[in-house]
Structure 1
Amino acid sequence: FPFHTPWHSPPLPPGSIPSFSHRKGFSSLPMSRIKCSACCCGREDEEEEGQEEERARHQLLHSSRPGSFSLGFSSALEYILCIRTCRSARNYAGMNGLYCCVPCKPRYRRLVDNIYPRAINEGLINMQMQKLTFYAISHPEKLERIGEYLVQRMARDLARLRFVQVKIAVEAMDQLLEACHSSPSLVQFTENHLRMVQKLLESNIPAMEQLATTSFVKFSNIEENSPSYHRQYDFFISKFSQMCHSSHDEQWKGMRCAGLRGLRGVVWKSVTDGLHPTIWERQHMDKIVPSILFNLHDGGEDPSGASQCDLSSRNVFSTLDEENERDRDDPHALSDLCLRELMGKATFGSMRAVMDPLLKHLDLHKKWQPPPMFAIALFKAILYSIQTQNSYFVIQELINHLDTMASSNAKIRIGIATVLSSIVNIAGTSIGPLLLSIFNSLLKHLRTSVEFQQSSYCPNKEDETTYQETLINAMGDFANALPDYQKVEMMMFTVGNIPSLSASNECKSSDAFLQHVLVKTLLKVATKYRTAYLATVFTDSFLATLLRLAIASDPQVRLNTLYIFHTLLDRHDNISCLTHLGYELDVSDLQLTVEKCSRADQMFIRKHTNHLLTTLYKCVLKEGEGTELMERLDAIQCILCLLCIEVGYDEMLLELYRLSLTLQDYALDSTHKISDEKRMGVHNMVAKFLNLSSQLMALPSLCQHVQQVVAKRASRGPPLMNLVQDVVETKEEEEEERRRLTIGEINEQSGMIFDRAVIVECLKAAGKDSSRVMVPLSCVTMTTPSLTPPPTPLSPNGLEDEDSGRGRERRDVDVDSLDLSFDSSPPDSPVRSGRKNTTVFTLLPNKVSTGLPISVQALRLMVNTPMDAIEEEKRAMEMTSSVVEQLRSRPFEEISDEICAHNEEGDIVRTVSRLLARNSESVRMSEMGRTGGARPKDIFDIQLPSSYIY
């Protein structure tokens, strides 16, 4: 009830009605007691306030009781004044010097005032707080006014540094927020709550900022039913990010934790509300992500550089109140939790907004330097937090960043590649859609690094080599995470990028090194693949490239190619026993896994036996001297053993015996200029293979022959050919030991080499068709490696024999004449009436076609034998120059006479006779079958039976 009291009058007690006894001359006039709805009535709706106001005005102006005093609205009013409403009373009091007594405050204000204690150390009065809560729930329309009044009192107490009253106001706001979470006026109340939090954050007082953060976290846990279309969190993001970088005062640890909890609350509140997608904008992520990462790596690494980031599984969708005590007080653990929640709530479309500032932060703070332990732990946490199907996006972003940093320091690129190698196995099969794209990017970086290393601008070649090794390991780990069919695609893709080197043509200086690096890459990928069927992995183009690389000029490329054959041929994990196989008296001690060869593998190996074994023979010929000679011979021996175990059917075993005996002949041939060490290495390789294969085939007679030869070599041969170190020597052998045979004399001593006839007899006794073992392999075309992919083999038996070798030689003789014609007449026919299909003359007088018939085997050999592109080109150039030289030096008449003398079709008489003979034969064939030369009936003259006519 508002009133005005003269200065000489004593103050009235609260709640009393002023009477005229306080004034001279009016003591005998009692005043009527008037009730104002704004003060005493419990109905406080706006509509009811207006009705009560009219009722009070009528009572003041028309009072008719005896002794009452009528009041009017005039300037003489000094003692009592009723204002329209309590709300306008405050404004009127400020303008006219009036004041409001306690009963004239609205009820919600009185309830708010009652929660404050009289003593400063008592805290919030819980009983009064319950009344205020009940009133707010019962009158939801007053919830906004309660919030406004609490913010008003809190701002006044904060300005006067009354921190106890400020905490009471914040606690009351939090309790009202939790109790009224389903109120229809919650949106308006939350605006007041956020205003209170903002004022506390603007105070720059650490205790108040932490109090505001705690209140904001409680607010972020509340689910709102009604949307808020105009709410923004820009100020809170900026302020919380600033708190995350606090490092100057003594409370920096608490301030950082408060800032991280605040950012966590902003992310939680923004993501759960679908009307606030602005949290993923670049301007916000540029503040949130660096703040989290700053606390993650600041103090998150020990002095040795190892990251302490906990990568254990966490529930990133837990509520904010479920933090343990360690996370609450440790900025590093809390930042790790914030990062996981941020990535866990990011959709596929918003992940780029997080990754861009993350990569930029790692660049600015130099976190790619090897060893990049922090970056590895960071990306592992990211991949464990996001959905599995989105993992490939992180891999793609990291590769794109590697593209961006392609011209940067090698150590930075090494760090990025190391991170990529460490996390690619987590992505698993989700990278399938971008398989070739990602692998092509890695190969492009590998090629770029090789070219840069070979240039003169490379400052540190050792770092570039380390970078290449890291990329190769990344591709190997990348292949390990893929299914088998995609590993095959990766190997095919890698093979397609290996450059072909030509001995005659000039090539880039980096091509040879790139070939070496890509072969190592292919080996790394091949080690992750488990072969099921040979035809699946050894396609025609893939096998052709491997065979070409097996006889390359670089020894390391040849060795790595042999290792690729090892890992792809071995399907039963026998490679560990066969890598450096010695002479085993009992092969069962090796515990090899041998299974029957499938029909599909038999068909495949029968098709490619020719080129595979020919390449192995060339590998032996290519191996020169050096410390690694024995290692390469062991690799070739391992392939022979793997072929015997994996595809050891009868035909293949016989071809392997042919190859072994041919290699023995090569080592015994004194015309080859090779060292004694290589000769003895080849002899030992053949002996160990025959020992293994004879025991696997269970041929006692062949095993006995092999053991006799090995024992004889151990006693009389050179020391390096002693495969049996613990031979018990007799007295006679001790006398013979005084003079050991040299490598050149073992062929003269009986029993020192493997006898081809004995081996054939042993195989024949076992029921094998050993006729082909007697035919040695032809070495005519094995000295020059073929640079073109080998075509389809000729026959199931595969390798060239002596007859085919002679046919090949005959082809080498006749190819320069370019006479590809052949006669269909038998070789003993006196008259060659057959017709030739093609005739091309030659200008070389000293090379005349022999005209001998070509056998079917020789014809197959001519068609299917791999062509040497270099030799063919050289031969064509020589022939062209020879023809040009003859045309320039010899007269035309002499050349024409020579051509006509050797060209049958140049003789007109012979040509006419041949044509007449051909026509007469066709006439006789057309008349054959006719009786009496009768003319055949016309179809219209044929009489059909009546049953055929409808």
Structure 2
Amino acid sequence: MYGVCGCCGALRPRYKRLVDNIFPEDPEDGLVKANMEKLTFYALSAPEKLDRIGAYLSERLSRDVARHRYGYVCMAMEALDQLLMACHCQSINLFVESFLTMVRKLLEADKPNLQILGTNSFVKFANIEEDTPSYHRSYDFFVSRFSEMCHSGYEDPDIRTKIRMAGVCGCCGALRPRYKRLVDNIFPEDPEDGLVKANMEKLTFYALSAPEKLDRIGAYLSERLSRDVARHRYGYVCMAMEALDQLLMACHCQSINLFVESFLTMVRKLLEADKPNLQILGTNSFVKFANIEEDTPSYHRSYDFFVSRFSEMCHSGYEDPDIRTKIRMAGIRGLQGVVRKTVNDELQANIWDPQHMDKIVPSLLFNLQQEEGIERSPSPETEKESPVELTERCFRELLGRAVYGNIKNAVKPVLMHLDNHSLWEGKQFAVRCFKIIMYSIQSQHSHLVIQQLLGHLDANSKNSARVRAGIVEVIAEAAVIEASGSIGPTVLEVFNTLLKQLRLSVDYELTGSYDSFGNMGSKVIKIHEERQLQEAVIKTIGSFANTLPTYQRSEVMLFIIGKIPVPGMYPALGSPNTGIEGSRMIQIMLLKSLLQVTAGFKSTNILTALPTSFLDPLLSFTLMEDAEIRLLVLDILISIIDRHDNRQKFSPVRIISDISVLKLKVDKCSRQDNLFMKKHSQRLYRHIYLACKEESSSQRHFESQYTLLGLMCVELANEEVVGDLIRLALALQDLALCDEALPVYNRCAIHALSAAYLNLISQLTTVPTFCQHVHEVIESRKKEHSFLLPEDVLTETSNIPEKLEKVEGEVLFVQAKIAEMLGGSGYNTERLATPYIPQITDEDRLSKRKSIGDTVSLQLEMESRQSPEKEQRSTAEQITFETLKQAIVDSVNVEELERERRRQVVERFQNAPFEEIAAHCGARASLLQSKLNQIFEITIRPPPSPSGSVGNGHGRTRSIPVYEMKFPDLCVY
């Protein structure tokens, strides 16, 4: 026998040897994997051998069944299954016949296990898509056998159930639709192996070839996913979502909407799950879907659930911090996907509706706010993946897509979030939020954000000062960003709201309550917080004004000066509860605001920078009793006049032997500067002179006056102006000498001011004799009267005597000498020799106005003095208190007479005949015409003769008036 085996072994066909080699000696070891691969390769290389391979495997299986070698039977069926899965060729039909023969033998066996084994193999075969059809194959036996198994009456209930289930699977396996078989084939037995790539490609090709089946494919995948989620088979869940993602990316057709509905249903199930991994998986799939551009619109799709769920995930409070971070980031990405999917599609639900924005924006701000509690990692990858960075990117993308009509809905939730979480008081987060907003939205819409902030500030007028200060600071940052682009019509609106807040803050500070009536139940304020608010408002006004162009800043200056209550012009200077102190504080606050606006103001045309409408009310403050107000006005004038940054070079006030060390920037006086000085110089001199007479002036006042005089000399001076400034300095010296009612300090300070200024202007004129005279007087003062020089007076520790003795002799500047010295250099000697004296009428008009009545009397008196026909007029009536009282009493009688006259006119037109009324009106008309004729006779003169000669002896011919001339039609417009 051994000889026979030896002879036959060498003669056996190769396919038999390959089949025999796949079976091990011990059936428990399973198929020999390497030999099985060789057999598969041989079958693919020589498909004509498949039928023989199948027949030989069938022969071995029949022998093993007969010998009860069930281990080898199972291996034979496994080998057949693998060959079926691998081989798709024209010869597969012959191989299938052998396969079905083997399955029949197993189903005919008495052993339940063999029946179940044969059924499983048949089900696998049923799921295979054959490349070539079969016309002669019959399944009658299998239908009968599987039906019989469905009615199995096996004694053991467990085995009976298995047999019946196998019968059901066998019946249904041959009847299942093709798309279900394709879907099932993409899932491997082991979920760790991932999708079966070849079968996934088949499913994709089938979906592209038959797009009408997409909705069914989606529904079936959704069904499988729901089942796998319920059974916690999360590996298959991931594969199902991966398959859906690939189908979504590949398929763009008219039927995609139905498939998307199944997809969104699956995503919803994942988001509703308790497992964080499933929520993240569903979010990632939704984000991929959101990035797909659909070819066909959807009219019925809703994303309300996704907005709510993603917003909820953004607020996740999961215990594990790493998982919590992942969930929040998934929520942020989900919201970003919703925005991308809906914001540009008019057919979708409007994502800008308040119901959606009230969820999206607070969720983003919540995560943006978490930056303070997050410890930054030095790793750049961790930094890149932080929720804060992702949130900011998503927030910027949302705002960048906003159009004109959506800005309000996007900004309002931000304001509400900051209110609800008391984030205005911290300022930093609120400022950051609005910086993101201002830099993200389109520049032409920036003014809408400012308007909302201003409205929110008004709405919080009775809130705490810290809240209002936070809003003001945000407005400052936002307005600066907006001003760098297009400020639009909101410039004056910003300043108007800020000035209104200043007034309210002053009222709150003085009354001590936010309630205008000061009720006991109202909330009590903190004065220091109101002061901080006032400083913040003033700072905001300045920072915003610095970004404006010159012409807009000039408008703002006029706007603010128009808001300042001026004594004698506005009778009601404050609220009834604050009184005079309230008016004073309002004046100070508004002047401080004006000073902030003028800081750094550089105008090439001083006429437009200081128009009469601005200069008149401003100068009226220089003579007020309040020293702080006078000082603010001086600083404002200095800021406007200083166009070359010379201001700091005049401080401190001191005697400088060589002013070249100051490096003053001096430009030639322009024509506009000359016109300005010709128009307003005398008023400026007068107010400087009268301001020096104020007893409440301090060191800073005299320093500011010196700076103002120095800037006028450097910025605006021509030859005439220099002469007037010298006369003013000498007049100040005379004031200090003659006005003994002034305090000693003031008189010494005026002397020091005069000396320092004459020292400056003498070196600017470069007249040697003038400089020599000034130098001699200063040297004389240093020896005996040092308290008349700024080094001893205009310092923190002044060195002045208790009583000022009579000052005379060499320590005084002599006007006659100076006029003579300057006369040799071309200056007007006569004008220089004339002492400067401010006009009495102007001084009275611009003195401290106590009431409107005084102002009216002064104006009437001025008119009587300045009229060219004053000799024909009567003396101006002196309006006194008695006169006003009599006018009030007489006004009652006047009103009664007026009512009586009106009654008579009504009665006349109601009762008189028509002829009488017509005659009355005609008489009035003729009277009016006669007056007009008189006016025409006076105003219209005959035009001169073309020859220029006088008429002949018959007298001058009367010229035709212009209004009676007949002009050609072409000349008439």
Whether these two folds match at TM > 0.5 is yes
Letter in 2 for 1:572: H
Measured at CA, do residues 398 and 724 of structure 1 come closer, stay the same or move farther in structure 2, by a change above 3 Å? closer
| C-alpha RMSD of the superposition | 4.3
Measured at CA, do residues 823 and 116 of structure 1 come closer, stay the same or move farther in structure 2, by a change above 3 Å? closer
Cα shift readout 1:620-651 (whole Å, capped 9, x = no counterpart): 112426xxx11101111111111111111011
Q: Distance in 2 between matches of 1:820 and 1:130?
A: 104
Contact map agreement 2:819 2:833 (CA 8 A) in 1: yes
More deviation, 502-511/247-256: 502-511
Measured at CA, do residues 39 and 114 of structure 1 come closer, stay the same or move farther in structure 2, by a change above 3 Å? closer
Displacement, 1:471? 1.1
Cα shift readout 1:85-143 (whole Å, capped 9, x = no counterpart): xxxxxxxx99x979634343333322222221222432222232233223323333333
- Structure 1: which 5+ runs fail to align? 1-12, 24-37, 45-51, 61-67, 82-92, 311-322, 726-738, 790-810, 825-835, 843-871, 885-930, 941-950
Residue 658 of structure 1: aligned partner: 727
Letter in 1 for 2:830: S
Residue 631 of structure 1: aligned partner: 700
Residue 554 of structure 2: aligned partner: 488
Residue 748 of structure 2: aligned partner: 680
Displacement, 1:507? 5.3
Q: Distance in 1 between matches of 2:106 and 2:224?
A: 38
Cα shift readout 1:533-585 (whole Å, capped 9, x = no counterpart): 11112111101011101222211111011000011001111111124332111
Identity %: 36
More deviation, 559-568/772-781: 772-781
Equivalent positions of 1:99-498 (< 5 A) are 100-178=171-249, 180-250=250-320, 251-300=323-372, 325-326=381-382, 329-369=385-425, 371-428=426-483, 429-457=485-513, 459-498=525-564
Cα shift readout 1:649-681 (whole Å, capped 9, x = no counterpart): 011111111111110000111x43112221111
Residue 872 of structure 2: aligned partner: 837
Q: Distance in 1 between matches of 2:764 and 2:140?
A: 132
Residue 707 of structure 1: aligned partner: 775
Q: 2:772 aligned with 1:721, yes or no?
A: no
Contact map agreement 1:559 1:632 (CA 8 A) in 2: yes
Residue 642 of structure 1: aligned partner: 711
Measured at CA, do residues 350 and 569 of structure 1 come closer, stay the same or move farther in structure 2, by a change above 3 Å? same
- Return the structure number with greater relative CO, CA threshold 8 A, min gap 6: 1
Cα shift readout 1:821-874 (whole Å, capped 9, x = no counterpart): 9999xxxxxxxxxxx6345699xxxxxxxxxxxxxxxxxxxxxxxxxxxxx755
Cα shift readout 1:351-390 (whole Å, capped 9, x = no counterpart): 1111111111111111011x41111111111111111121
Equivalent positions of 1:836-855 (< 5 A) are 837-839=872-874
Cα shift readout 1:28-85 (whole Å, capped 9, x = no counterpart): xxxxxxxxxx9999899xxxxxxx9xx99xx99xxxxxxx9999x9x9x98899xxxx
More deviation, 243-252/99-108: 99-108
Contact map agreement 1:432 1:482 (CA 8 A) in 2: no
Q: Distance in 2 between matches of 1:673 and 1:701?
A: 35
Contact map agreement 1:340 1:382 (CA 8 A) in 2: yes
Displacement, 1:272? 3.7
Q: Distance in 2 between matches of 1:438 and 1:559?
A: 27
Q: Distance in 1 between matches of 2:567 and 2:505?
A: 19
- Aligned partner of residue 622 in structure 1, secondary structure: coil
Q: Distance in 2 between matches of 1:724 and 1:707?
A: 17
Cα shift readout 1:505-542 (whole Å, capped 9, x = no counterpart): 78542112111111111111111421211111211110
Q: Distance in 2 between matches of 1:535 and 1:432?
A: 26
Equivalent positions of 1:760-779 (< 5 A) are 760-779=819-838
Displacement, 1:705? 0.7
Residue 692 of structure 2: aligned partner: 620
Equivalent positions of 1:534-613 (< 5 A) are 534-613=606-685
Contact map agreement 2:688 2:705 (CA 8 A) in 1: yes
- Aligned partner of residue 280 in structure 1, secondary structure: coil
Q: Distance in 2 between matches of 1:820 and 1:684?
A: 37
Residue 891 of structure 1: aligned partner: none
Letter in 2 for 1:280: W
Q: Distance in 2 between matches of 1:707 and 1:540?
A: 39
Displacement, 1:764? 0.3
Structure with the higher helix share, 1 or 2: 2
Residue 501 of structure 1: aligned partner: 567
Cα shift readout 1:442-489 (whole Å, capped 9, x = no counterpart): 222222222222224262222112111111111112212221111111
Q: Distance in 2 between matches of 1:562 and 1:784?
A: 21
Displacement, 1:183? 3.5
Q: Distance in 1 between matches of 2:862 and 2:181?
A: 119
Q: Distance in 2 between matches of 1:492 and 1:366?
A: 37
Measured at CA, do residues 547 and 189 of structure 1 come closer, stay the same or move farther in structure 2, by a change above 3 Å? same
Q: Distance in 1 between matches of 2:643 and 2:865?
A: 49
Measured at CA, do residues 469 and 266 of structure 1 come closer, stay the same or move farther in structure 2, by a change above 3 Å? same
Under a length normalisation based on structure 1, what TM-score does the superposition of the two structures give?
0.70
Displacement, 1:746? 2.6
Displacement, 1:419? 1.6
Q: Distance in 1 between matches of 2:720 and 2:183?
A: 101
More deviation, 677-686/559-568: 677-686
More deviation, 394-403/103-112: 103-112
Measured at CA, do residues 122 and 876 of structure 1 come closer, stay the same or move farther in structure 2, by a change above 3 Å? same
Q: Distance in 2 between matches of 1:582 and 1:127?
A: 96
Cα shift readout 1:164-199 (whole Å, capped 9, x = no counterpart): 111111111112222x14344322222221111011
- Aligned partner of residue 452 in structure 2, secondary structure: helix
Q: Distance in 2 between matches of 1:874 and 1:579?
A: 48
Measured at CA, do residues 474 and 277 of structure 1 come closer, stay the same or move farther in structure 2, by a change above 3 Å? farther
- Aligned partner of residue 550 in structure 1, secondary structure: helix
Contact map agreement 1:286 1:357 (CA 8 A) in 2: yes
Letter in 1 for 2:719: D
Q: Distance in 2 between matches of 1:399 and 1:309?
A: 39
Contact map agreement 2:228 2:236 (CA 8 A) in 1: yes
Measured at CA, do residues 630 and 816 of structure 1 come closer, stay the same or move farther in structure 2, by a change above 3 Å? closer
Contact map agreement 1:116 1:165 (CA 8 A) in 2: yes
Displacement, 1:16? 4.5
Q: Distance in 2 between matches of 1:816 and 1:270?
A: 73
Q: Distance in 1 between matches of 2:148 and 2:760?
A: 127
Measured at CA, do residues 724 and 278 of structure 1 come closer, stay the same or move farther in structure 2, by a change above 3 Å? closer
Q: Distance in 1 between matches of 2:298 and 2:336?
A: 20
Measured at CA, do residues 138 and 610 of structure 1 come closer, stay the same or move farther in structure 2, by a change above 3 Å? same
Contact map agreement 2:695 2:743 (CA 8 A) in 1: no
- Aligned partner of residue 117 in structure 1, secondary structure: coil
Under a length normalisation based on structure 2, what TM-score does the superposition of the two structures give?
0.69
Contact map agreement 1:154 1:166 (CA 8 A) in 2: yes
